[in-house]
Structure 1
Amino acid sequence: MTEAVAVTTGFRSVRIDGNSLLINGKRVMIRGVNRHDHHPDKGKAVSVDDMRADLVLMKQHNVNAVRCSHYPNDSRLLDLCDELGLYVIDEANAESHAWNTSLCHDPRYRETWISRISRMVERDRNHPSIIMWSLGNEAGYGAVHDAAAAWIRSADPSRPIHYEGAVFHAGWETGGVAASDVVCPMYAPIDAIVEYGKNSVGKRPLIMCEYSHAMGNSNGSLSDYWDAFENTPGLQGGFVWEWKDHGLTQRITGGGTRLAYGGQFGDTPNDGNFVADGLVHADLTPHPAMRELAWVHRPVWVTLAGIKKAPQLRVRNHQWFTDLSDYEARWELIVDGRTTKSGVLTVPAVTPDSSVVIPVPTALPANCGEAFVSVTWRLKKATSWAPKGHVVAWDQVALQLQKPVRVPVQKRRGETPKISPRVTLWRAAVDNDGFKMMPHLWSGFGRSLERWLGQGIPTDDADVLSSTTQVEERADGSVRYEHTVVVPEELADLPRIGATFDVPSRFTQLRYYGNGPHENYPDRKASAMLGVWEGAPDELPYLVPQEFGLRTDCRWMEVVDPTTGDVLRIEGDGCLLHMSAVHHTANDLHAANDRTELKRRRALTVHVDIAHRGLGTASCGPDTLERYRIAPGTYTFAYVVSQR
């Protein structure tokens, strides 16, 4: 014997049956992310520990698949995927942005192209985590791709082939079938993929190779995508773009460091912060949208099964090969935002991809207001990717809802500190609204910022339309504010409709009854749960300053003086409100190009919104869906401010 090499391998089957991708015979939903090699200090020279840290955090947020964008990764990453249990699309290093549609038709590149693809397959074919081979990324579609796909099918007929360029250039329905066994679009809108699924039964499965562009405060309508994936034939998930921001550690004048992006190294030309488009920072600190991702990917669902005789819950095991015995479920009864009862949820055996119906574990108290039952699922034992007790899923089910009520006059509490609310329409532009540092790109990406600037929204704010404010000083010392805003047709689709004001600087902590605990927006709130939450005000969680920190559907918010215990409450009067309180004004955030430019104000700036535009994904993808935009019309909202 001259040489012996040992490899770890595994056994599984992957095949396509009509419009379904089957793994071991099961139609597995692809809960994926796109991953680049990146480290804030090492750049692309990542270690095995760095790779493991990426993959472990993915697993902790219910990711089950990785697309190696856009090159074959270090084979040790594939070893880790084999070990931890992550499906992989292994992608060839074949990309030709500047010559997208020409090189693939040039016979001089044929052998090089096939060489890159064949070397990937020959090196990686023993890794069971790989479920598809990808011919590359954004390199047009030509005869070379058909030839490479034919080579793969002869060398490894056990795996399907993926190539977005084939379906982009030749069409979803029947185009590019020689080069792609799946329809794998980039950034397709929801209505387009639903239309394909409904009209293409028996054709190729649709798995989005890139969607929900995660640049800054983003990932609007992620849950809407998953509603489509789960309820439309032929749709089978996809890969969010992308896993991690590409910031690099940079020392700054005066000491300290920052995560820097294009242009901050004196590099010209550059694409600014366009590579700050991840679900996590370069140092793996998660962005708020990671909570939404973990929720839409959760392995167990709890929904209301019915309430005719007694409320019941449906528990669905959304796994394909295991039961729920690895998890412990705990329930809480939430009445008017507070936990009143809790316990372990008794659930009978639930086999893979099936559900059971169980009774709600407790009765509602007499004469209660709003009531919800929340269920949280945790690991019973530590695994290779998470400790014992790690939360894998959560849901909240409404048992009894209550319409917003008017705030009654109470016993006299003393004088309320004076505030000066003003109507506002402006938010610090998120990256999806438009690139504030790259106006030359407005024509191709988010256009909202360009429109708002032309309308004078940031500078004249509420002066651009008709609004009135009524102030009522009430007998108990509280003050009621009522605002009426009239939005004409020509100003439809504003950033927000609300009021803003500062509170005395001694009020530094927050408590609120609304959706939380994490930041959420009208089109990114599926993962939030209604309750009373408290803590310090949010700090900016994004590389580039922009709108942040909103909590939707608030009944009230309190700012607290931790020294005296004094409380200033802002309570919706007959309406639900979206609220935030941070140490920056909207203009502060919009004027700053970097977190290090922001100056933290002593006083909190409060926003109280009756309407707030959704986030969308227009930095590279569909804009905010129509139902999350602000329509023309008359908006009246009121709130009562009191000191307690």
Structure 2
Amino acid sequence: MPAHPSGSPAAGPHLTYYEDFSPGHGALPPRAWVPASDAARLSLNGLWWFRLSPTATAEDTAFTRPDFDASRWDILAVPGHWVLGGHGAPAYTNVRYPFPVDPPRVPTENPTGDHRHTFALPEDWPAGGETVLRFDGVESCARIWLNGREVGVFKGSRLPAEYPVGHLLRRRGNVLAVRVHQWSSASYLEDQDMWWLPGVFRDVTLLHRPAGCVADFFVHAGWDHSTGEGTLRVDAPSGGRVTVPELGVDVAVGETVTVPAEPWSAEVPRLYEAVLTGAGERVPFRVGFRTVAVEDGVLKVNGRRILFRGVNRHEFHPEHGRALDLGTMREDLLLMKRHNVNAVRTSHYPPHPAFLDLCDELGLWVVDECDLETHGFAEDGWAGNPVDDDRWTPALLDRAARMVERDKNHPSVLVWSLGNECGTGRALTAMARWIRERDPDRPLHYEGDRTCADTDLYSRMYAPHAEVERIGRREEEPLDDPALDARRRAMPFLLCEYAHAMGNGPGGLAEYQRLFETHERLQGGFVWEWIDHGIARRTPDGRRWFAYGGDFGEELHDGNFVCDGLLFPDRTPSPGLVEYKKVVEPVRIEGDPVAGTVRVTNRHDVADLSHLRFTWSYEVDGVAAARGDLDVPPLAAGGTTELKLPLPAAADGAGEAFWQVRAVLARDTPWAPAGHEVAWGQWPAADRPGSLRTAPDPERPHRPRHAEGGVVLLGPGTFDAATGELRLLDGFALAGPRLDVWRAPTDNDLGAPWQSDPRHGLLWREAGLHRMRHRVDGVVAGDDALTVTTRVAPAAGSLGLRTVYRWTADGDRLHLAVAVTPEGRWTLPLPRLGVRLGLCGTLTRAEWFGGGPGEAYPDTRAASRVGLHTASVDALQTPYVRPQENGARADVRRVRLRREDGTGVAIEGGPPFWFTARRWTSEELDAAAHTCDLVPGDTLWVNLDHALHGIGSQSCGPGVLPRHRLEAAPASFGFTFTTLGESR
């Protein structure tokens, strides 16, 4: 096991303990996490005395004396971060270090938090044995004293450290003093893409270690898929016996036993309660039998290929930062399970150990990643990178050991990851060698070395679809070294990061998933990332908003790049998570409308379908005309069946009909109740035509006529005679409609500077699409129509869109036909193509027949299903932390916008259209930096779009796929407008 060397001076200036290369001194060897035993323990969490200094005053240690008066200090909650407790401010950088890069030195301006806590031992605290003081996480360097005596120093912020303190304890009046430096040599190893948040942010615990205690133990529990037997051996240096009552196991430590057992998997997380009994301690633990291996170039668990439907998860809470409680951890996992997520990469450090207990219990595959990233050295070509500097190797080995030893007994942990974005170097090789020797039964992961010299898996970030397909065929670009190339080509492939979930998006998920399901080598990936890291703030009038980089006055920051999750900061699922749930659903349901059949495919890795119940419904215009249960056999994983659907009774009247088949939980599970929807499929019925009425009725035409006041009257419409714009619809005031091509650029529209795809959000603004001008070339009131001819174009260029509006009316309906012809040489796609109109702001509710219930865009529409939907106008908005284009509903046939009294406006479209409504303009949305900047106006702005440009993932990944680009091309579309009375 790697030693914990004490710091030693390097050549050059003397290095303080917080600057030297060592991981610290005084700590016990790392050991397995034990959530509970019959030995006594005392939590030291709570309110501590706290003092913040602007510099690291290493000589001032008077506060460590038991008689020191700290009554004038502040109070701080532990676990916690002092910058979230009113002391200093957080800072966000992605790659760049927020201090001069001069390893291992750090600035004199080094915020340092002194902590004091006084405690007494419980009356029944045992005498004898040893007592250990445990810290589960401190950023970034901690120096510890107990009752005036120094205990030790440690670095490695997200890893535990334990110290023997029994000889220093008193029954009462114990004073624990901890000095925490924000910056230390460890900061060079912890350049993860997240907020810099110093403090004691995980638990502090006092643990009694009785004579004959279980010093450590290692559970080896494999499963043989050919025999159905589990093999168990528990190694423990202190000896003892292991019992698993359910299996009738009672053996000595170190003895191997083979018994019939059920395997553990993420889908069926079968655990057996066990006990390790030593001479002085009884430790309960849980056994999950499973074997992970790379066989024939494929990653398998229990003999079966698995497919990661994963997420990258930072620990984050909008008020508490990385100080997460157990309830929040469980909430994360319940949300994952309910959205068909089956895997977590613990980016980019080991999580709180209780999180892994929950992964064992609820069922998640885990890639456990070491607390290591040196990304900032890439700014200078990796010069001075610690992972290729032998002076840092002890610290890196220490981090590997503390991760592996703490987490080795979790069946959920399938893969060890050496770290993230560290370049390459000798220390990574040393870490890999140590881990393989300690735990040869788990494969190794690291993305930063394209040669995969130290890994068992080929891993990439944000590879575009075409490259992923080549890799799936094992036809990727070769390495220069033939031996390394052959080795890598034989490896399984995963995308450790893909589908960057920043703002509106990510797009292209469905196309990635089809590749994963087509090519055996492609074993899925992990969306970046789980949650937006927005820090909660309130306006003076109490409105909540979320801060990102730059909102705390940082001199260096990376803006809202820290908000790139599938959850909003308050843990509300984003549309991206809803889309991901649909794309990765473990049951594929596909209908054949001609044959009247449904095909069900079980895409689970392990589980059959016995845990699901299937239902069908036949819906006409969004209303179920018939429904029932569907008898689907309990297909084994990978199995497919085709079933005949019942013949529903004929529904009265015309209307569009759709079949829908749903798979729901048949019974309660630990993560969701019975009836929770796991998967669904929807398709149009072959026997029912659509019922849209957008064409004019030739038997009831109205003729346009000029009237006083410079207006043209046409049916229920009143038009401006000079501009041809609609002003009134049967007494309802309007503004427009006019052609609109602009959208408030999404984070993915704006792209990232390192991407090769065009950054369309920048090109749109450069081309002036945000400042289009409308020229009226003609307003002609003919015998049967009002025709308005315009040219829509930006200043300073020759690009334009010739637009013809043709208005007709019959009865109380007003019809608009729009024809658009591009002029000039268009080399960039359009953001959108449709019309925008302003309506009265008293219209507050929307009812529509079309896609929903949530937003959708051309490459994020898998989760949109056609039906009758209703929502308030405010609820149509998606509150992305940085405001941007949002809220479109796909495949809309008709929409009704109503006041509270039921009056309003109805719109039908042919062909189906995209509908967006908001109480501010796209320009106001574009100008806002935070949600609190958006102030509702008196006008409801409605976009009726014929087409939209896709979303993509270019905030860090690939851009919009060609088939989802909105090229400038001739287009025709139309809408019908009517008013709604109170009874309609």
Aligned-residue offset at 1:200:
4.8
Give the letter aligned to residue 395 of structure 1: G
Over residues 486-527 of structure 1, what are the superposed CA-to-partner deviations in whole Å (9 max), with x where a residue is unaligned? 234335312111110012333221122221111111100011
Distance 1:620 1:500 in 2: 31
Offset from partner CA, 1:301-355 (integer Å, 9 cap, x none):
2112x466x3211111222332222222221112333322111222223222212
> For the residues of structure 1 that align with 2:831 and 2:855, how far apart are their CA atoms?
17
- Structure-1 separation of matches of 2:523 and 2:766: 41
- Letter in structure 2 aligned against 1:119: R
Indicate the residue corresponding to 2:664 in structure 1.
378
Q: Residue 238 in 1 paired to residue 521 in 2?
A: no
1-structure distance, mates of 2:967, 2:359: 47
Match of 2:868, SS state, is: strand
Answer yes or no: is 1:489 the counterpart of 2:805. Answer: no
2:593·2:683 contact (CA, 8 Å) conserved in 1? no
How do residues 71-220 of structure 1 correspond to structure 2 at under 5 angstroms?
Answer: 71-100=349-378, 101=382, 102-167=385-450, 175-176=451-452, 178-200=453-475, 203-220=490-507
Counterpart-to-counterpart distance in 2, 1:27 and 1:547 = 39
- Distance, in Å, in 1 between the alignment partners of 2:803 and 2:642 is 51
Distance (Å, rounded) in 2 between the aligned partners of 1:397 and 1:466:
36
Corresponding residue to 1:478 among 807, 813, 818:
813
The residue type equivalent to 1:74 in the other structure is H
Comparing 38-47 and 325-334, the one that deviates more: 325-334
Q: Residue 444 of structure 1: CA displacement?
A: 8.4
Deviates most, 483-492 or 615-624: 483-492
Structure 2 CA distance for partners of 1:447 and 1:492, relative to 1, 3 Å: closer
Identity, % of aligned pairs? Answer: 38
| Partners of 1:255 and 1:568 in 2: CA distance | 34
Match of 1:294 among 581, 584, 604: 581
The equivalent of 1:463 in structure 2 is 793
CA contact (8 A) 2:755 2:958 kept: no
State the distance in 2 between where 1:404 and 1:621 align: 41
Q: Which has the higher contact order (CA 8 A, sep 6+)?
A: 1
Q: Which is worse superposed, 533-542 or 548-557? A: 533-542
Quick check: 1:576 aligned with 2:893?
no
Name the CA distance, whole Å, in 1 between partners of 2:962 and 2:396.
43
* Shift of residue 402, structure 1, vs aligned partner: 5.1
The secondary structure found in structure 1 opposite 2:420 is: coil
**Deviation of 1:594 (Å):** 0.7
Q: State the match for 1:340 in structure 2.
A: 625
What do you get for the CA RMSD once the two structures are aligned? 2.4
Deviation at 1:291, TM superposition (A): 1.0
Contact 1:489 1:632 in 2 (8 A): no
1:48 to 291, 303, 326: 326
User: Quick check: 2:694–2:815 contact (8 Å CA) kept in 1?
Assistant: no
Whether contact under 8 Å (1:504, 1:603) holds in the other structure is yes
Post-superposition shift, 1:382?
A: 2.2
Q: What SS does the aligned partner of 2:917 have?
A: strand
How far apart in 1 are the matches of 2:805 and 2:925? 29
Between the aligned partners of 1:442 and 1:323, the Cα distance in structure 2 is 44
Does structure 1 retain, via aligned residues, the 8 Å contact 2:738–2:837?
A: yes
Q: Give the counterpart of 1:555 among 893, 905, 926.
A: 893
Cα 1:432–1:467 shift into 2, 3 Å: same
Q: Is the 8 A contact 2:350 2:370 kept in 1?
A: yes
The question of whether the paired residues in 2 share the 8 Å contact of 1:445 and 1:620 is answered with: no
Q: Where does 1:425-436 land on structure 2 (aligned, <5 Å)?
A: 425-434=741-750
Query: Are the aligned partners of 1:446 and 1:618 in contact in 2 as well (CA < 8 Å)?
Result: no
Find 2:766's aligned residue among 454, 461, 484. Answer: 454
In the alignment, the residues of structure 1 paired with residue 632 and residue 754 of structure 2 have an alpha-carbon distance, to the nearest angstrom, of 52
8 A contact 1:434–1:446 mirrored in 2: no
Aligned partner of 1:566: which letter? T
Aligned to 1:38: 316
Equivalent residues in 2 for 1:5-44, closer than 5 Å: 5-44=283-322
- 2:80 alignment counterpart: none
| Change in 2 beyond 3 A, CA 1:409/1:566 | farther
Q: What residue in structure 1 maps to residue 635 of structure 2?
A: 350
Q: Deviations over 1:585-604 (max 9, x none)?
A: 10110011111111112332
Aligned AA (1:453) = R
Question: Mapping of 1:506-585 within 5 angstroms?
Answer: 506-537=842-873, 538-563=876-901, 565-573=902-910, 575-585=911-921
Q: What runs of 5+ residues in structure 2 fail to find an aligned partner?
A: 1-210, 215-282, 477-488, 702-714, 717-728, 774-791, 795-799
The superposition leaves residues 555-589 of structure 1 with CA deviations (integer Å, 9 ceiling, x where unpaired) of 222212330x334222123x221111122210110
Task: Tell me whether 1:250 sits opposite 2:537 in the alignment.
Answer: yes
CA change 1:430–1:518 in 2 (3 A) is same
* Structure holding more helix per residue: 1
Q: Describe the SS at the equivalent of 1:450.
A: helix
Q: Structure 1's 404 and 157: CA in aligned 2 closer, same or farther, altered over 3 A?
A: farther
Q: Which has the higher strand share?
A: 2
SS at match of 1:381: coil
1:409-444 Cα shifts (integer Å, max 9, x gaps): 467996644532111110011111127xxxx96988
Length-normalised TM-score, structure 1: 0.92
1:192 alignment partner AA:
E
Report the equivalent of 2:615: 330
**Deviation, structure 1 residue 155:** 1.4
Asked if 2 retains the 8 angstrom alpha-carbon contact of 1:82 and 1:129, the reply is yes
- Structure 2 Cα separation of the partners of residues 144 and 522 of structure 1: 46
C-alpha distance in structure 1 between counterparts of 2:753 and 2:920, whole Å: 27
Match of 1:260 in 2: 547
8 Å Cα contact 1:482/1:638 also seen in 2 = yes
How far the C-alpha of 1:104 sits from its partner, in A, is 2.5
**Of 460-469 and 121-130, the range deviating more from structure 2:** 460-469
Q: 1:104 to 1:382 in 2, by over 3 A?
A: same
The answer for the alignment partner of 2:345 in structure 1 is 67
Is the 2:506–2:952 Cα contact (8 Å) retained in structure 1?
yes
Q: CA 1:601/1:376 → structure 2, altered by over 3 Å: closer, same or farther? A: farther
Match of 1:631?
Answer: 967
Show the counterpart of 1:171: none
Q: Secondary structure at the match of 2:955?
A: coil
Which AA in structure 2 matches 1:71?
Y
- Rounded to whole Å, the distance in 2 between the matches of 1:307 and 1:332 is 14
Residue equivalent to 1:272: 559
Displacement after TM superposition at 1:551 (Å): 1.1
CA deviation digits over 1:357-410, x for unaligned, max 9?
Answer: 111133473896543211122223222212232222121133328579662446
8 Å Cα contact 1:34-1:242 kept in structure 2 = yes
1:78, CA displacement in angstroms? 0.9
> Is the Cα–Cα contact under 8 Å of residues 426 and 586 in structure 1 kept in the other structure?
yes
Unpaired runs of at least 5, structure 1: 168-174
Distance 1:221 1:318, change over 3 A: same
Distance 1:22 1:112, change over 3 A: same
| Worse-matched range after superposition: 209-218 or 94-103 | 94-103
TM-score by length of 2: 0.61
Q: Which moved more, 1:196-205 or 1:89-98?
A: 196-205
Asked if the contact 1:432/1:446 (under 8 Å) is kept, the reply is: no
Task: Give the whole-Å Cα distance in 2 for the aligned partners of 1:403 and 1:491.
Answer: 36
CA contact (8 A) 1:467 1:483 kept: no
SS in structure 2 opposite 1:227? Answer: helix
2:628 alignment partner, SS class: strand
C-alpha distance in 2 between matches for 1:466 and 1:181: 55
1:5-62: CA deviation from partner (whole Å, max 9, x where unpaired): 4432321010111231101111111010000111111111111222111111111111
Distance 1:204 1:444 in 2: 27
> 1:93, CA displacement in angstroms?
1.1
For the Cα contact (< 8 Å) 2:369–2:417, is it kept in 1? yes
Deviations 1:53-76 (A, max 9, x none): 111111111111110100111211
> What residue in structure 2 maps to residue 424 of structure 1?
740
Distance 1:30 1:45 in 2: 27
